[in-house]
Amino acid sequence: LAEEQGQALDPLLRQLELERNAARSGMLRALDARPARDWLDMLPEQLSRMVSGSARNAAALSVVPKQIRKHYRKLRQRVGRLTPESSLKEYHQVRIRTKKLRYALEIVAPAYADAAADVLAALLKLQSKLGTQHDAGDVAAYLTQLAARPPAGFTPQTLFMMGRMAELNARQATRLRGRIGKSWRKVRGKRW
């Protein structure tokens, strides 16, 4: 950006910093609360019990493939419903399903070796593309909403630059709609 364009964004940067500081304070309050501290204190003990309970782990391994198939089926259904006119919300639902499948598979990945690693890599790429699309859509929506009721100190130049940024992000989100097909085909790929 030219220097005057960068300066026009200073009020936006200050606003974002205020919002980030408020969100961080809320997060720290939640983490410092008694329930969170109790959970964190119990976590090492819980993890050691999971590792030592090999009989339970073996039983879990017999159930997990069903869960993976279930998550895969739901992801396939969500992707099958997508059209070029699908909303960003519908694409975000695909991203959520992708994450659920990835998390379920990560639990047992060591037991399935390379086959799981290949699918996990494909899921990660798909999730990343969907995440980039979602973030671009959220940035466009946030900037548009903020410009509708700008805080004090926002200049016309600030609002103009925000409009340009919102437009670029909205275009990127739209453009990415057509680019998940290749990533999905790698997830779907050969039978895994």
On the question of pLDDT at 158 being above 80, the answer is yes
Across the range 8-32, mean pLDDT stands at 96
Give one DSSP letter per residue of 91-128, joined into a string: HHHHHHHHHHHHHHHHHHHHHHHHHHHHHHHHHHHHHH
Instruction: Look at the block and give the residue holding tokens 């548009």.
Output: 144
Could you tell me the sign of the dihedral formed by the alpha carbons of 101, 103, 104, 110, in that order?
A: positive
| Tokens describing residue 151 | 């805080």
Confidence of residue 52 (pLDDT cuts 50, 70, 90): low
Chain centroid, CA 175 distance in Å: 18
Q: Residues of 12-30 as b/e, b for ≥16 C-beta within 10 angstroms? A: beebeeeeeeeeeeeeeee
Dist CA 79 CA 184 (whole Å): 8
On the question of pLDDT at 11 being above 90, the answer is yes
Dist CA 141 CA 172 (whole Å): 13
On the question of pLDDT at 77 being above 90, the answer is yes
Higher pLDDT, 106 or 150: 150
pLDDT at 143: 97
Confidence of residue 182 (pLDDT cuts 50, 70, 90): confident
pLDDT at 192: 59
